[in-house]
Copies of this chain bind each other. A is one copy, B any other.
Amino acid sequence: MSGAERLTASEAARRLEAGSLTAETLIRDCLDRIEARAEVKAWCWLDRELAVAQARAVDRDGRPGLLKGVPVGVKDVIDTYDMPTQHGSPIYAGSRPFADAACVALTRLAGGIILGKTVTTEFANRHPRETVHPVNPAHTPGGSSSGSAAAVADFQVPVGFGTQTGGSTIRPAAFCGVVGYKPSFGEFSRVGIKMQCHNLDTLGILCRSLDDLSLMRAALLVQPRRPIDRSASTPRIGFCRTPAWDHADADTQALLERVVSRLSAVGATLEDVAPAPADILDQHRRIFEFEAARNYAYEYEMHADKLSPALRDGLLKPGRELPLSAYIEAIECAEMFRAGLDDVFDEFDVLLAPSAVGEAPEGLGSTGDARFNALWTLAWTPCVNLPAGTGRRGLPLGVQLVGARFRDEALLDAAAWIEARLGS
């Protein structure tokens, strides 16, 4: 092992370009790490030979594109033409889609290598699967992007794709102590990603460096790379406890207050802001139920016996009974929330908020609580989780930074400013 598995995607891309690293070495190091750390159970499909063959082909081609052979783990609700896509469900056991998802095709086009498929909860919903927390296997890694978060945290792959409908990217990123990113709704293509809720689903990225987000954005948007601007001016920060604040545990509340103090001390302007109505999570829930109940019509009709009771009876059944008028009302509330946020972002560059209730909970029966994420999914705003120390059990904590919709680059600049001043 050469240790290349520890590199971030940006570092690896630089060394691959310079020729001081080959794609094959990088892929082999990642594969060795995965083998050595099989107990994390982050992968549901991996073909060592296919991965090495892809790496050799990229090396032969002169390591093209922006990614130059950087490997990516793909959440198993995202289609790959050369690997199964099983959605964490027995319904899709062994299923092989015809085509790559757009994000997969764009990754390959940029010279990236699809390393394998990472574990998802059932249909990126609540019912958990086998992945454990890489720091303490008695704890959940979070979900639904469980495998991508655990694999990235554990140095098994530098970048993983996640998705977020409630809190499925930011929450596992916080639990596992990695950078998590949910872009502005609608920016990244969702073609070939199993659709759960068309007004909420967002492709997310898990990685170990903010720079990797600028790299992956360029690849996925087919745009020139726009590096993070670390000379950007001091951001105006709004501190947003959200209506769920009382559910945050003592570790999380203390962390957020500490971050507020520290950032104020280094010159940031910090003000409290409360843009979300008290019932915002109810609106999210209604949209989730109504859309999922219709979007999973095939699975519900044809394979109800293979759905978890949590999904079938806890989500799809009540969703079918929801009247259209309640759904429309929830959509209209969401639109008002978004319009109000536009005004908030006239005054602030970034909002600071909790990423999760606390550390990753013990046990694998639940992937944790999404109440600090669902409102931002509904908001369509870009969000980043920044790792920020550990809690009482020695597991990672994070803070969430929220930017204005379609101002993702400004959010990444502000996140870099804050990261540089957070300390350890």
Which residues of chain A from 183 to 208 have a CB within 8 Å of any chain B CB? Answer: 186-187, 189-192, 195, 198-199
Chain B positions within 8 Å of A320 at CB level = 222
Report if A222-B299 is in contact (Cβ < 8 Å); known contacts: A186-B198, A199-B186.
Answer: no
Which residues of chain A from 293 to 341 have a CB within 8 Å of any chain B CB? Answer: 293-302, 320, 323-324, 328, 331-332
Chain B positions within 8 Å of A189 at CB level = 198, 291, 294-295, 297
Closest to A297 in B: B105
Expressed in whole angstroms, the minimum distance between the Cβ of A293 and any Cβ of chain B is: 7
Asked if A274 is an interface residue, CB under 8 A from chain B, the answer is no
Closest to A107 in B: B297
Report if A295-B198 is in contact (Cβ < 8 Å); known contacts: A92-B98, A186-B331.
Answer: no
The distance in angstroms between the C-alpha atoms of A108 and B331, with both chains bound, is 28
The distance in angstroms between the C-alpha atoms of A191 and B95, with both chains bound, is 17
Chain B positions within 8 Å of A297 at CB level = 100, 102, 105-106, 109, 189, 191
Interface string of A82-108 (1 = CB under 8 A from B): 000000000010010111111011101
Interface string of A255-276 (1 = CB under 8 A from B): 0000000000000000000000
Is B108 within 8 A of A299, CB to CB?
no
Chain B positions within 8 Å of A108 at CB level = 301
The distance in angstroms between the C-alpha atoms of A300 and B301, with both chains bound, is 34
The distance in angstroms between the C-alpha atoms of A195 and B295, with both chains bound, is 14
